[in-house]
Amino acid sequence: MISNLSAPERILVMPNAELPKAIALSEEISQHLAQKHINHRVYSYQYENLMPAPDLLGWDVILTVGGDGTLLRVGHLCVPLGLPLLGIQAGRLGFLSELSETTWQEGLEQLLAGQYHLEERLTLDAELVRQGEPTQKWDVINEVVVSRGHIVRPIEIRVDLNEGYMTSYIADGLIISTATGSTAYALAVGGPILPPELRNMLVLPIAPHLSLDRAVVLAEGAEVTLRAQSDHEAVLSVDGMGPVVLKPTDFVHIAANSNSLRMVRFGEPNYFYRRLAAMMQNNPILKQNNYD
């Protein structure tokens, strides 16, 4: 399904600065764009070192070069601005990336010709409320996780929806996931795989004990409140970021974000299932670690 959209005139290329392969590939992409007289810039963003994020205003599309982690981190910058994102795989895992080191030239030709479509993916708002006041807020692409900390004992997690009390879990943790996140942590704990355009939330316990052990699918309009009750440490983590230690009276409010993650796509709608099957049958992480 290819649409005739506006060809981007200003392109920002953002490689993972910690991956030499990504840096080298970005230089090739830059040379390619320069030959075509496309206004562009390469910005190596060192995510782990917390370097200042670039100013994304004025760019038409953002190219990430790296793995899924690279795309997620840049995605957090793009979601509030509604900027389209195109992932080029140069890392270990690429569920989200559209192009690879062997297909990027063909993909860029289509992009510059306006022969692509935009896939709108649901994102979430997550807000930590402490002593009745919001203290931190996140745009969520994959998942929100409330879990036990370093002590290996389950915690109790109460779940309330718009309508009121839903249930409580005794578990190692609880995942609230988007369809995008259904192939991430949620998949690792046995959750269902949702097609990326589905605008639903998953509620999925981690190692539940004498509790509901099935995933619950919520509609986009649902609002979820999580409260951890424990005599030992409980933590909150969003999209794999560093954990935030929860206090006993804290709660986390989660709802659909008004902004979507906008992904540049070139393939037909069934691309997701073909890629998923290939990933499951030929795990790239195992191959790179010589486990095959």
The catalytic site residues sit at 68
Tokens, residue 190: 């046995």
Residue 247 in contact with residue 234, Cβ under 8 Å?
no
Among 20, 18, 42, 21, which residue's Cα sits nearest to residue 31?
A: 42
Q: Which residues of 108-128 are buried (b: 16+ CB within 10 A; e: fewer)?
A: beebbeeebbebebbbbbbeb
Strand-pairing partners, residue 165, are 160
Whether 95 and 195 have beta carbons less than 8 Å apart is answered as: no
Rounded to whole angstroms, the Cα distance separating 197 from 184 reads 16
- CB-based contacts of 40: which residues, under 8 Å, 6+ apart? 10, 11, 12, 13, 30, 33, 34
Instruction: Please report where in the chains the tokens 């036990």 appear, as a residue.
Output: 148
Q: Among residues 86, 118, 111, which one has the least CA distance to residue 99? A: 86
Per-state percent for the chain, helix, strand, coil, to nearest 5: 20, 35, 40
Taking a C-beta distance cutoff of 8 angstroms, is the pair 231, 155 a contact? no
CA angle 247, 249, 251 (to 5 degrees): 90
Q: Chain-centre distance of CA 191, in angstroms?
A: 16
| Cα–Cα distance measured from residue 2 to residue 268, given in angstroms and rounded to the nearest whole number | 8
| 136, 195 Cβ separation under 8 angstroms | no
- Are the C-beta atoms of 141 and 166 separated by less than 8 Å? no
